Chains A and B, each alone.
Chain A
Amino acid sequence: MNLGRRSSKPSQHAVWVFLAPFALLTLVFVAYPLIQSAVLAMQQTYGPGTKTFVGTRNFTDAAADPVFWTALRNTIIYTLGSLFIQLPLALALALALNSPRLRGRSGYRLIFFSPQLMGLVFVSILAALMFEKQAGLINQSLHTLTGGLWSLDFPWLESHVMATLILISLWMYVGFNMIYFLAALQNVDHALIEASAIDGANSWHRFRHVVLPAIRPVGTFVVMLSMIGSLQLFELPFVLLEGTGGPRNQGLTVVMYLYQSGFEVGDLGYASAIGWVLALLLMSLACVQMWMIRREGR
């Protein structure tokens, strides 16, 4: 049979034919917009017909724009909240649900993961109702639990916007990240854990020196995923705060500011510049991730 010989020498044309759809789509929908957005970041436009070259002014304006810095600060606070509150909680939950002594583990896993099934916009709408003054579930519950000490007028969405966003994101993402940790925990070699127990290691030592190193690659991945997702936060505050950044921009994120500048004010050049700053930030984080993964592999 000559089939094997024919397939071992694919014609040069065939390679290009197979690559063409991907290459075409990438050129049209990735490469061209990328180049165009870099050009746009150095222009001020009112539609493609009316534009003027402004050089690096959009970037220098962003650097001097207090609203941009507020948005960046908020985004970083939210990201830190994700990393230092959300992920430890997710890990704790995964450890608890990994315990063979716990009954109904599958049910709990489903319950904790279920917010993911609803979608962020739906969760945001629900959260807006839950954090309302007077009739909102949160204020009503706290009011009842504290015997009336907690004010029904507690202004979650007025003076505590970032705390509210972090709380909602816990509800949304703790279960999601828990699944990753759970998968990693189920792959930890039980022989190692048993051996360390025989050697006299207590539960903390077993966790610190056996479990944690074993799940570190997944942990690194989850940290990076959370970080990048948090830096791109948009839908939750957008829906919750009705398209604004909330009172005094407490809930304004970088992507929301990009959206406001580009699609509400119509300053597409400035929005592109903000987009590029965010892209550079994300690229730097991706480089850090790659470096960490390489270090893990050694």
Chain B
Amino acid sequence: MNFATLIMAARGMPLGLWVMVLLMLCSVTVLFSGQRTNEDAVRLWVFSPTHRDLYNPMLDRAGAEVGVPLDMRLMSILAIERRMMSGFFSGLPTADLIECERAIVGRAFVGPLEAVGFLDLTDRLREEGLLDQINAPSFGPWTSRGRIFGIPHDVHPVMLAYRADLVEQAGIDLSDVETWQDFFRAMRPLMGESTNPQRYILGFWYTHLDNVEVLLLQGGDGLFDDQDRPTIATQSNAHILAEIVSWCVGPNRVAADIEDFSGTGHQQRIDGYGIAYLAPDWMCSIWKEQIPQIGGKMKIMPLPAFHPGGRRTSVRGGTMLGIARDSHQIEEAWKHAKLLYTSPQVARQMYQLTDIITPVSSLWNDPVFDEPDPFFMDQPKGRMYIDQAPHVPARSSSPYNRQAVVLLRDAAVSLAEHARRTRTYDSQALQPEAFRLLSDVESKILRVMERNAFSGAVR
């Protein structure tokens, strides 16, 4: 076929075919004109637009200091998980540095220790003194079988945030509150005498997966120990489960089902349908952005304890920066990681931008943390979170944590139904049933864990 024949054939082509050819050419152009990767750069994947904005001003300086530029890409958390695990499994290239959230990191620890796709940072952290500089509990979610695979990004202590305008209007003084019982007793007048109150003391429900875990961690036993063995069926956990279910059922319930990230939940916060909420540091910036209407009306206080002298905080969420084991630029990646995660400038900006406090305890004396926060009635919010930071409970990196939390929610639902069915609303009376349900959860988790043929230490 010569050129002239081709021209003839093209002339006879229908319009639709021309459109298809044009679309194909456009697609090919777009595909091949995409942003080129700098092969010499250290590649970094981040999942949070806020983190990207935080690191962007640092890139040039970091590149100059390390001598190798940093090529940062923003991706959805699911995309990072898929690409990270595919890369780890198949030996295909991933980024040199990967920011990973607690909810997805567990999968990287399912297999044998030597097959974990992240570089073991334990010795580096020890040699460079970072183990002592960084708040110890923050390493928990990134530590598997005694080895640390990531630098923690945060501490995420949990405080209790409440509608101080309503509380103060009612003349309620919370300064002497130490336990949850004290708290509910003090706040009870806000619910009024009505049998169908239009206001509840706590925005919390036993089906909220993350918040149930928060309270169990506050109690101390959590779900797994530091060797990733389940510690679910304990009397302490049974006490807490019974306690939180008793908040939500019965004629004297004090909690309402107010979602964390929904429009309805936000409206209920504005309306004062719920007064108090569990608030990790990162939640503050979400509220500031999404419900500015409650700004200047809120205050924070340490979480009430489950018993006198008990822990006054807990922990929720978390992010780490890990280095891919197969990276060709491990030393450069390590230098970049340290710059991003231990820099005073980033720590300060992170607090200003996201309300998140750095886990690097040597940076906690920055005066930025003492600044009054108008959203919280000029309380020195940063300092209040930092005061609780050393007390946040230890957490496990168990790949079975998510399943355990889901099963825990199921146990809470069953306990609530038991309470309604038997009209047992007292937490003491509910505790034996709670313990039975938790034992069932633990045996289910053990059954799943026993299927893992690779990792004896995880079992």
Q: Which residues of A contact B (CB under 8 A)?
A: 44, 46-50, 52, 54, 61, 67, 129, 132-136, 153, 158-159, 244-245, 247-249, 264-267, 270
A158–B115 touching, CB < 8 Å: no
Known: A49-B89, A49-B91, A49-B115. Is A247-B451 also a contact (CB below 8 A)?
A: no
Q: Which residues of B contact A (CB under 8 A)?
A: 85, 88-91, 107, 110-112, 115, 207, 209, 257, 259, 262, 264, 267-268, 273, 399-400, 402-403, 406, 409-410, 413-414, 417, 444, 448, 451-454
A134–B264 touching, CB < 8 Å: yes
B410–A248 touching, CB < 8 Å: yes
Residue of A132, A133, A247 touching B410 (CB-CB under 8 A): A247
Docked complex Cα distance between A83 and B90 (Å): 43
B112–A134 touching, CB < 8 Å: no
A133–B89 touching, CB < 8 Å: no
B257–A265 touching, CB < 8 Å: no
B91–A46 touching, CB < 8 Å: no
Give the top 10 A-B pairs by smallest Cβ distance, nearest first.
Answer: A47-B89, A46-B111, A247-B413, A135-B264, A248-B410, A266-B110, A44-B453, A266-B107, A50-B115, A244-B406
Docked complex Cα distance between A161 and B267 (Å): 25
A48–B89 touching, CB < 8 Å: yes
Docked complex Cα distance between A247 and B403 (Å): 12
Docked complex Cα distance between A267 and B268 (Å): 41
Q: Can you list 15 A-B contacts with CB-CB less than 8 angstroms, sorted by A residue number?
A: A46-B112, A47-B89, A47-B115, A48-B89, A48-B90, A50-B115, A54-B453, A67-B444, A159-B413, A244-B409, A245-B406, A248-B410, A265-B110, A266-B85, A266-B111
Known: A49-B91, A50-B111, A265-B110. Is A248-B451 also a contact (CB below 8 A)?
A: no
B259 / chain A contacts, CB cutoff of 8 Å: 132
A46–B454 touching, CB < 8 Å: yes
Known: A49-B115, A50-B115, A264-B402. Is A135-B267 also a contact (CB below 8 A)?
A: yes
A265–B403 touching, CB < 8 Å: yes
Docked complex Cα distance between A52 and B452 (Å): 11
Residue of B85, B406, B413, B451 touching A44 (CB-CB under 8 A): B451
Q: Given known contacts A50-B115, A132-B259, A247-B207, what 12 new A-B pairs fall within 8 Å (CB)? A: A46-B89, A46-B110, A47-B85, A47-B90, A49-B91, A52-B453, A132-B264, A135-B264, A136-B264, A153-B257, A244-B209, A249-B410
Closest partner residue, chain B, to A132 (CB atom):
B264
A50 / chain B contacts, CB cutoff of 8 Å: 111-112, 115, 454
Docked complex Cα distance between A134 and B259 (Å): 11
Docked complex Cα distance between A54 and B273 (Å): 54
B257 / chain A contacts, CB cutoff of 8 Å: 133-134, 153
Secondary structure at the A interface, as helix, strand, loop or mixed, is: loop
B115–A247 touching, CB < 8 Å: no
Q: A202 to nearest B CB, angstroms?
A: 49
B267 / chain A contacts, CB cutoff of 8 Å: 135
Docked complex Cα distance between A267 and B449 (Å): 11
Docked complex Cα distance between A58 and B112 (Å): 20
A159–B417 touching, CB < 8 Å: yes
Docked complex Cα distance between A134 and B196 (Å): 13
A264–B107 touching, CB < 8 Å: yes
Docked complex Cα distance between A67 and B448 (Å): 11
Closest partner residue, chain A, to B116 (CB atom):
A46
B414–A248 touching, CB < 8 Å: yes
Closest partner residue, chain A, to B89 (CB atom):
A47
A134–B268 touching, CB < 8 Å: yes
A158–B207 touching, CB < 8 Å: yes
B448 / chain A contacts, CB cutoff of 8 Å: 265
A48 / chain B contacts, CB cutoff of 8 Å: 89-90
A52 / chain B contacts, CB cutoff of 8 Å: 453-454
Q: A90 to nearest B CB, angstroms?
A: 32
Which of A44, A129, A264, A267 has the most C-beta atoms of chain B within 10 angstroms of its own C-beta?
A264
B413–A265 touching, CB < 8 Å: no
Q: A60 to nearest B CB, angstroms?
A: 11
A267–B413 touching, CB < 8 Å: no
A44 / chain B contacts, CB cutoff of 8 Å: 451-454
Q: A39 to nearest B CB, angstroms?
A: 16
Docked complex Cα distance between A183 and B88 (Å): 52
A46–B115 touching, CB < 8 Å: yes
Q: A111 to nearest B CB, angstroms?
A: 27
Residue of A46, A67, A136, A267 touching B451 (CB-CB under 8 A): A267
B85 / chain A contacts, CB cutoff of 8 Å: 47, 266
B262 / chain A contacts, CB cutoff of 8 Å: 129, 132
B273 / chain A contacts, CB cutoff of 8 Å: 134
Q: B90 to nearest A CB, angstroms?
A: 6
Docked complex Cα distance between A284 and B428 (Å): 52
Which of A49, A247, A248, A270 has the most C-beta atoms of chain B within 10 angstroms of its own C-beta?
A247
Closest partner residue, chain B, to A136 (CB atom):
B264
Closest partner residue, chain A, to B400 (CB atom):
A265
Which of A67, A265, A270 has the most C-beta atoms of chain B within 10 angstroms of its own C-beta?
A265
Known: A46-B111, A247-B413. Is A61-B451 also a contact (CB below 8 A)?
A: yes
B452 / chain A contacts, CB cutoff of 8 Å: 44
A47–B264 touching, CB < 8 Å: no
Q: B204 to nearest A CB, angstroms?
A: 14
Q: A136 to nearest B CB, angstroms?
A: 8
Docked complex Cα distance between A48 and B85 (Å): 11
Q: A125 to nearest B CB, angstroms?
A: 11
Docked complex Cα distance between A248 and B90 (Å): 35
Docked complex Cα distance between A54 and B454 (Å): 12
A249 / chain B contacts, CB cutoff of 8 Å: 410
Residue of A61, A159, A245, A266 touching B399 (CB-CB under 8 A): A266
Q: A266 to nearest B CB, angstroms?
A: 4
Which of A67, A135, A249 has the most C-beta atoms of chain B within 10 angstroms of its own C-beta?
A135
Q: A46 to nearest B CB, angstroms?
A: 3
Docked complex Cα distance between A14 and B263 (Å): 62
Which of B107, B268, B399, B453 has the most C-beta atoms of chain A within 10 angstroms of its own C-beta?
B453
Known: A133-B257, A265-B403. Is A47-B413 also a contact (CB below 8 A)?
A: no
Docked complex Cα distance between A267 and B414 (Å): 28
